[in-house]
Amino acid sequence: MNPTILIVEDEPAIQELLAVNLKHAGFLVVKAGSAEAGDSAIRAALPDLVILDWMLPGQSGVALAKKLRQDERTRELPIIMLTARVHEEDKVQGLEAGADDYVTKPFSPKELVARVRAVLRRRAPHLAGESVDIQGLVLNPGTHRVTAGGQTVELGPTEFRLLFFFMTHPERVYTRAQLLDEVWGDHVFIEERTVDVHIRRLRAALEASGHQDRVETVRGTGYRFRGH
């Protein structure tokens, strides 16, 4: 549920500075030391935002940004460019390459965290802790509250995370294994049928609030959340 941020930066000191501050701000951090490593990391596990250094050994940050903008899967991936240069032409070039924001070194950690939040708020509101509203069913990650028509919906922690995932990924079928990965976290050993039980509990809570048939069963595959 916490946003994952990929840092692509070759200088260990700056990489660490960024990582410490972002972690402290509640983000999950993945690091890469080159554009190529960053590219791999993105393919391995799609992050929610990328902080990309301008100058990198080998392939440059701008080149990677352009590449990411061409691939359909990463077209929407928010990018913040990091650079030591202060020339105006670079800024233009960076934004043309598809960067969402632009930070010049030296920067204050607070400023960077603020910019990360701002970009996430613009590009992926729910990751910035803003509430998700699907047809009167409102889930607020900040307050951990779910309401249906003003009425509070009572949910356990697992049901809350399950609903959060569904509401941020509606209209798409997920297998039990996928849901276990996404909602329970990777590398857990839990029976797949356990998902059924939590689906049942979630359905019961939603129906008690007047939301029938929001979670659909796709026989032989898994479940899907109705977004409309």
Query: Which residues contact DNA by CB under 7 A?
Result: 156-159, 184, 189-191, 193-194, 196-201, 203, 217-222
- Assigned token pair, 102: 């632009």
* Tokens linked to 185: 């976290």
Residue 117 near which of a second copy, DNA, none (CB within 5-8 Å, type-dependent) = a second copy
Over the window 175 to 214, marking each residue x when it contacts a second copy by CB under 8 A and - when it does not, the resulting string is ----------------------------------------
DSSP 147-211: EETTEEPP--HHHHHHHHHHHHSTT-EEEHHHHIIIII-SS----THHHHHHHHHHHHHHHHTT-
* Residue 143 CB coordination number (10 Å): 10
> Which among 79, 64, 46 is positioned nearest to 169, based on CA atoms?
46
Q: C-beta of 199: minimal distance to DNA in Å?
A: 6
Tokens of 208: 């008690």
**Residue 7 Cβ vs DNA, minimum distance, rounded to whole Å:** 28
Instruction: Verify binding: residue 217, a second copy, rule CB under 8 A.
Output: no
User: Which of DNA, a second copy, none is residue 198 near (CB under 5 to 8 Å by kind)?
Assistant: DNA
State yes or no: residue 92 binds a second copy (CB under 8 A).
Answer: no
Nearest distance, CB of residue 223 and DNA, angstroms? 7
For residue 65, what is the enclosing H or E element? Answer: helix 61-70
Residues that bind a second copy (CB under 8 A): 40, 43-46, 71-73, 108, 110-111, 114-115, 117-118, 121, 142-145, 156-157, 171-173, 218-221, 224
